Amino acid sequence: MPTVIIYWSPGRSDDQKAKVVADITNTLVEHASARREDVLIIFQDILPGNAGRAGVISSAPQKATHHGEAPPNGVAEDDPVD
């Protein structure tokens, strides 16, 4: 049974999730010979604080208090992160 797990930030609507499920299911049926009834899509929300990037725990976006001052997590919102 093809299983697809999607890790993403919370906030998607039920309509958005339904469209993603339909598109991924159709792709697996059409291009991987999967049976539609066997395709399982799992959405896993990653809440702020439950993941990290570039060695720093993620948090809710925070604005700097002064121009150019980095937020407490050390990464400004517009900083590129590889």
pLDDT digits (tens, 9 = 90+) for 19-77: 999 999 999 999 999 999 999 999 999 999 999 999 999 886 655 555 555 555 555 55
Which is nearest to 50 in space by CA: 82, 18, 4, 8?
Answer: 8
Helix, strand, coil % over all residues of the chain, rounded to 5: 25, 20, 55
Q: What is the pLDDT of residue 82?
A: 46
Q: What is the pLDDT of residue 69?
A: 53
Q: Is 19 in a helix, a strand, or coil?
A: helix
Q: Which CATH number fits domain 3-46: 3.40.50.300, 3.30.365.10, 3.30.429.10, 2.10.69.10?
A: 3.30.429.10
| Res 11 pLDDT > 50 | yes
